[in-house]
A and B are shown apart, each in its own frame.
Chain A
Amino acid sequence: MKKLFRTAAVAAVTALALAGCGGGGASNSSNVTPTGEIKPREISWLLSRPADGAVINIMKKLADDYAKNHPGFSLNLITTPDRPSYIQKLETLAAANKLPELFDTDATPFAQQLAKQGKMVDAEKLLKTLNVYDDYRPAALDYQRFDDRSLYMIPFQFELEFIWYNKSLLQKAGVSAPKSLDDIPALCTSLRKAGITPIAIDGQDQWPLERYAAYQPFRETGPDFIQKLKKGEAKFSDPAGQKTVEWLAALGKAKCFQDGFSSQGYSDAQNQFTSGKAAMYNIGTWELPSLATDKLNPAVRGDIDFITLPTTEGTATAANEFVSPSGIGMAVNSKTYDPLVSDFLKFALEKYPSEYAATGALSPTTNVKTAIPANATPLYKKAVEKANDLGDEQAMPWDTQLDPTTNGRLQQELVLLVQGDITPEQFTSTMDSAVAQNAPKFFK
């Protein structure tokens, strides 16, 4: 038996060591014009997008069109819409060196390591070779870039995030939509006095609350603070950090979010807003079909409007600069990149924008016009038009910026801070030491 164990242990070591070493075998990420014949085969795209959503439906159609001229080609779309499950899958595949031809990822530190190892094709070069680079909105590409401005992911969406509000509820409380971020706590107090839930938030998915943490520093310093914070070069104890900590604590004290928000999900939060219980709701243009069409509850349809992220006194960024994400991006695996993949991407990326804009969504490119659906309310057009007037900076969601361990800790501590379970001082010291402990491993 002992012998058996020893054999097994040796085998265990060998198997894993082989996989571990596989990490080193880098391919060339900068060769974007592979030479040779186009040999049609099945290629796969591992993605995390809604199964019945516009991106998947359009890409399926484009793949079918492409296959007509290239018999034998097919695109296998493997979607895992639930993001945590998707990330688990992506990481396991990466660990086993089994990533497919195309895969989705945000511009996370993990993705940056993949890029550094040469596992992803340089998207900037790729888009330029395919002659589509200039079609893209700079903001859409910037969202996908790593800190060193390098680009490895291709965007398929473009979204703008607004603060939606219910005019009649604000009126009932005798207040108006916030002009400055610093107005919000007092606004919440008035709304609460009138018996209205001030802000509906999806606490379960954690990113919505993390957005609020990003707002004050973005107004105070632009993208500077988070870029330094994640590397441990800035701290929460710095003025910009303290401002957001104090503000979040004030939001909590004024009971801005619905009671028990931390366990309420995406649909719960939206229902609170669309049923006329909550006065404000922070969400992006991907929800236009439910907030700005006749699908919206008629009882509130005439009452809702939106503002872009309020500024503050002495703001470093302008009112037309806010969160404008281009969604999870698509990376191209350099190991399996060949004339076929290149040719298909050329075909698909040229045709994609017009098809996508026709569904009423904002294309990541500027060469097409979004079709306003027939059942839209006037807000739809107003929202879409905001995309034409954007500043140069954009507020980056922190969850794609911080190293994953610090990010996880931040998401947990934020809830405690807003619920008043910990003091701003405790929050500051916990988070600063979390950054100090984890950041060096990811950013060297």
Chain B
Amino acid sequence: MITQTAPATPAAPPSPAPPAARRRRRPSAFRTLSRVLIALIVIVQVYPLAWLFLTSLRSEHDFATGDPFGLPKALTLENYARAFETGDLGKNILNSFIVTMGANILIVLLGMMAAYAIQVLGFRLSRLVRGLFLIGIIVPVQIALVPLFIDYSTVNLLDTYQSMIIPLAGFSLPMSVYLFSSFFEYIPRETYEAASLDGAGPYRIFGLITLPLSLNTVVTVVLVNSIFIWNDFIFANTFVLSEDLKTIPLGMQNYIGAMGKVDWTATFAAVCVTITPLLLVFLVLNKAMIQGLESGATKG
């Protein structure tokens, strides 16, 4: 199944490539084609968000009976009113924020430290440790639920912020280690050697060279993980018991009625409200993130 992934459609136009001499004039046709393609793909990518937003502005009745893909007949904010009335969205957002921040701090700090030890300091068993981290990228999280729950209940960690933060951070750590170590590879060795010759030890080098240089990667790691953590349902559902600690995905359950009947328009209103903070951060930090991903990527 892996061979199928070979690039079947590179950037070339379907017709045999034009001779080099005509290349100067041809690009316009090629460019038009690629622009149309890009526009199409962008529509496919943006459409769902637009649909989500429009649906959250529809009346329940219009949503139930009208064409779900057409434009709403009238716009209403009553779904938002219902969303805020039924759930405690503010508290949910705050909890998600605490969990996301907590996990991110661990992920960034520990990921950076591990990558520094593996990539920059180096030691005899570094390959083995790298391999251990690889397992974490691979294992499906669902399987850890029952053992984790039992472990947490023996150490009295259930129903705390930590019970969500620790597994979320643990399972995201491998990707973070990976991204940081591929970025550290990118920092020229001479930089370190020069600093070493000046008498800087591993701690100073970490604080004065590695840390400031990796800001973009930090942003990337934070954003990529935030997407997953912000929307995490499975750990939160397993470890949280009290209303006061519910995160957004758990809060969404407030719109489920008897026998599985869901108030969808209110749910979508709530989805729109709750992705806004993430979206804002995302749009503001986007440039740094893209740079981080790119610099992390080029060295593979």
Contact = CB atoms under 8 A, between A and B. Distances in A.
Q: Do chains A and B touch in the complex (CB under 8 A)?
A: yes
B290 interface: no
B241 A286 contact: no
Contact of B65 (A19, A81, A266, A297): A297
A266 B259 contact: yes
A53 B257 CA distance: 8
A51 B256 CA distance: 8
B64 interface: yes
Nearest to B246: A78
Interface of A: 1, 12, 15-16, 18-19, 44, 46, 49-53, 76-83, 85, 88-89, 92-93, 95-98, 100, 202, 205, 265-267, 270-271, 274-275, 284, 286-287, 297
Given A51-B253, A78-B243, A95 B261 contact: no
Interface stretch (B148-156, B182-190, B210-218, B291-299): B148-156
SS of A interface (majority)? mixed
B262 A266 contact: yes
Interface in B3-39: none
A284 B61 CA distance: 21
A81 B253 contact: yes
Interface string B217-258: 000000000000000010001100111000000000110111
Contacts of B264: 267
B91 to A, nearest CB: 13
Contacts of B260: 82-83, 202, 205, 265-266
B90 to A, nearest CB: 16
Contacts of A267: 64, 261-262, 264
A89 B154 CA distance: 17
Contacts of B149: 92-93, 95-96
B158 interface: yes
B153 A265 contact: no
A15 B257 contact: no
Size category, B interface: 20 to 34
A83 B257 CA distance: 11
A11 to B, nearest CB: 10
Nearest to A286: B258
Given A50-B256, A85-B253, A15 B237 contact: no
A88 B237 CA distance: 9
4 shortest interchain CB distances as A-B pairs: A81-B256, A271-B64, A51-B254, A96-B153
Contacts of B238: 88-89, 92
B42 interface: no
A16 B144 CA distance: 12
B146 interface: yes
Give the most central of A53, A78, A83, A96: most B CB within 10 Å.
A96
Interface string B110-154: 000000000000000100100000000000000001110111011
B191 interface: no
20 contacts: A16-B147, A51-B87, A51-B253, A53-B257, A76-B243, A78-B242, A80-B253, A81-B253, A81-B254, A82-B260, A89-B238, A92-B146, A92-B149, A100-B241, A205-B260, A266-B261, A267-B261, A275-B64, A275-B65, A297-B65
Contacts of B65: 271, 275, 297
A50 B237 contact: no
Contacts of B145: 88, 92
B258 A53 contact: yes
B61 A85 contact: no
A77 B86 CA distance: 15
A286 B258 CA distance: 7
A42 to B, nearest CB: 10
Nearest to B256: A81
Given A50-B256, A82-B256, A270 B261 contact: yes
Nearest to A97: B153
Contacts of A275: 64-65
Give the most central of A50, A78, A202: most B CB within 10 Å.
A50
Contacts of A96: 149-150, 153
A80 B238 CA distance: 11
B252 to A, nearest CB: 9
A297 to B, nearest CB: 7
Contacts of B147: 12, 15-16
A271 B63 CA distance: 9
Contacts of B233: 85
Contacts of A88: 145, 237-238
B146 A95 contact: yes
Contacts of B154: 15, 18-19
Interface string B159-195: 0000000000000000000000000000000000000
A287 B61 CA distance: 16
A19 B65 CA distance: 51
B150 A19 contact: yes
